[in-house]
With several copies, the nearest count.
Chain A
Amino acid sequence: MIAEDKAKGYIARRVAKEFKDGDVVNLGIGIPTLVANCLPPGIQIFLHSENGLLGMGPIPPEGYEHPNIRNAGSSSVSFLPGGAIFDSAVSFGLIRGGHLDATVLGALEVDEKGHLANWMVPGKMIPGMGGAMDLVTGAKRVIVAMTHVNKNGSPKIVKTCLLPLTSIRKVDLIVTEYAVFRVEDTGLVLIEYSEESSVEEIKGLTAAHFDIDPRLKTIER
């Protein structure tokens, strides 16, 4: 069992290793946002925010917040040099047109084929899809960054999503505090696991079949 306080950092740091220098990336709210602070040395990525900016910088110091430089979660942010702004149609043109190298999102469920459900729980929680459906449909790579199980301890990786799908486009990679799965045509393939855990424990925490990569290794921490 990996402690909850460690999980988020583990996930963010592992996701941060997925990028090439110069990648254009959209990070969802929550764990994905933490990825920006975990990039390996020498890797610079350009952050896209769907409300209309590219080259998003960190939250400015107190007193330096501009009321009209915000991210998609309504937080004050900043521009890095070389930043650009555009309207929502262009912003989603970048997304849908395949001009984002990657999008990192949270999930409610991911199934054994790699389908993602992350935008509603019928009759219970209906926040709306926002930009998630376009992001998952359009980005070159879709990376799910989530805790392996939900608050009740139930697996979030399931045989078939019971919740409404975000897209029929399959995700490319699933990163949890326990494991990293690559999504192939044949289904999920476990490629890395946490040295604090074991393949057996991961099988127990996962409600879907997965194959094991012959080059299986532990997650570098």
Chain B
Amino acid sequence: MKKKLITLHEFSERIPSGATLLIGGFLGDGTPDLLIDEILKTDKGGFTVIANDTAFPDQGIGKLISQKRVKKAIVSHIGTNPETQKQMIEGSLIVELIPQGTLAERIRAGGFGLGGILTPTGIGTIVENGKPKLHIDGKEYLVESAIKADFALLKAKKADFYGNLTFAYTARNFNTFMAFAANCTIAEIDELVPIGGLNPEEVVVPHAVVDCLIRGNRS
């Protein structure tokens, strides 16, 4: 059986410049910092990053922005990162803003084989510009397409050798459904447990969607 545990170096070799990356986390909580630092040791860039936010200039996804490795950010807000705003205004970074609940569901839809979502959020605002709308039972919904990516970079708490994952409290956020929506899902883990070391009910993301594991600082 394919071994899922790889080294940080093996990880960065797999990520090509220009790749589309789903990155877990909410203002840095639940973001795989070691994976980001490893990418920054290379000269790779031109990434499209899909994430809840760009955190802070010196933290998590913010570091990829500050070091100009990102050409496009698809996020729900950038209010905590003045560097993202600066690059956006200069025109060196494309920022696409998506309502947080819509972003979450679009990524889940991508991973779950659905074509998109039908949401009331954004109707009557600039978010609806250019998007199809549907009436269902007398109510109007925006049709928002599914999102998939080349890679999902996640931060998990525990993993067994198969790749079953658990998460630490609010570090769960986008990590769960992002796991389903990438061609290659890679998780930085705090603790490696033996096979059988997780209760089947405790597993949050089943191993079928996890391709690679990287032991983090604490494991």
Contact = CB atoms under 8 A, between A and B. Distances in A.
B76 A68 contact: no
A50 B53 CA distance: 13
Given A48-B208, A99-B209, A131 B100 contact: yes
B121 A167 contact: yes
Interface string B141-178: 00000000000000000001110100011111111110
B77 A51 contact: no
B83 interface: no
A89 B207 contact: no
Nearest to B175: A87
B173 A74 contact: no
A48 B77 CA distance: 19
Q: What's the dominant secondary structure at chain B's contact region?
A: loop
Nearest to B165: A84
10 closest A-B pairs by beta carbon, nearest first, are A127-B79, A168-B124, A92-B101, A81-B196, A96-B113, A128-B77, A93-B112, A134-B101, A84-B203, A130-B77
Interface stretch (B5-13, B21-29, B35-43, B63-71): B21-29
Interface in A92-137: 92-100, 126-134, 137
Interface of A: 21-22, 24, 44, 46, 48-55, 66-70, 72-74, 79, 81-100, 126-134, 137-138, 164-168
B120 A53 contact: no
Given A129-B77, A130-B79, A167-B121, 10 more contacts: A54-B208, A69-B169, A70-B26, A83-B200, A84-B198, A129-B127, A130-B53, A131-B101, A137-B113, A137-B123
